[in-house]
């Protein structure tokens, strides 16, 4: 946290692929013990977890943001690695590893080393994928993907930056409070169908 505090106001993004499905469960146990965390959710899925970094006087000096990269690139990490030409994702026997832990047995040094290498490879792949995607989006649209949390948000940002010709048009972005108030009024799937009919024709 001291290293992050040196950023002085700049957020530090930490990417987690499928945050809601796995890593987020462990993070929430830790985050719940911290002060003032902000959890952004869409339905039951976690989009991001923001942890403020405070100085000795309790003032916010930086932010640590865990983002679900699956919200931006909604494909498995293995498929993304192949698509971006970064090779194959490693395979690890999680079932056997978890069975040992559940039964109170200690995994071998070899298994632990394989587990660490598996995680390192995943981190390396995700970093490579994100870097390539970031360069492509910035080079094509002059938009920074780190300013957005979801693919739809990125698409809207690209639209406003590159395709909204009239800069005087103001597209209002609703606040979280307003969104919570009006969202219950949203409905979908209601269609009026008019069928012609008659009698004694």
Mention every residue, 6+ apart, whose C-beta is less than 8 A from residue 83.
Answer: 75
What is the domain partition of the chain in residue ranges? 1-71, 73-181
CA distances 53 to 32, 142, 179, Å, are: 15, 30, 27
Q: Which tens digits make up the pLDDT trace of 128-178?
A: 999 999 999 999 999 999 999 999 999 999 998 888 877 677 777 777 788
Distance CA 81, CA 11 (A): 26
How would CATH label the architecture of 1-71?
A: 2-Layer Sandwich (3.30)
Token duo for residue 138: 């910035």
Distance CA 169, CA 152 (A): 20
Mention every residue, 6+ apart, whose C-beta is less than 8 A from residue 161.
Answer: 141, 142, 143
pLDDT at position 177 = 83
Query: What is the percent of the chain where pLDDT is above 70?
Result: 93
Q: Which tens digits make up the pLDDT trace of 4-20?
A: 556 566 678 889 998 88
Give the angle subtended at the CA of 136 by the CAs of 82 and 172, to the nearest 5°: 120
Q: Which tens digits make up the pLDDT trace of 30-80?
A: 877 776 788 888 877 889 988 887 777 777 777 888 999 999 999 999 999
């Amino acid at each position: 946290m001291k290293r992050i505090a040196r950023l002085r106001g700049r957020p530090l993004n930490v990417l987690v692929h499928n945050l809601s499905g796995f890593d987020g469960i462990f993070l929430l146990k830790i985050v719940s013990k911290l002060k003032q965390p902000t959890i952004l959710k869409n339905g039951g899925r976690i989009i991001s977890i923001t942890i403020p970094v405070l100085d000795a006087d309790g003032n916010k000096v930086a932010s640590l943001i865990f983002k679900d990269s699956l919200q931006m690139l909604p494909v498995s990490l293995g498929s993304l690695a192949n698509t971006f030409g970064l090779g194959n994702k490693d395979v690890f026997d999680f079932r056997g590893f978890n069975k040992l832990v559940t039964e109170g047995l200690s995994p071998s040094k070899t298994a632990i080393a394989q587990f660490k290498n598996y995680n390192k490879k995943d981190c390396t792949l995700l970093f490579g994928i994100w870097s390539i995607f970031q360069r492509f989006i910035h080079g094509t649209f002059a938009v920074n993907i780190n300013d957005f949390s979801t693919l739809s948000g990125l698409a809207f940002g690209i639209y406003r930056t590159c395709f909204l010709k009239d800069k005087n048009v103001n597209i209002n972005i609703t606040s979280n409070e307003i969104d919570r108030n009006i969202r219950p009024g949203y409905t979908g799937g209601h269609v009026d169908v008019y069928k012609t009919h008659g009698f004694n024709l």
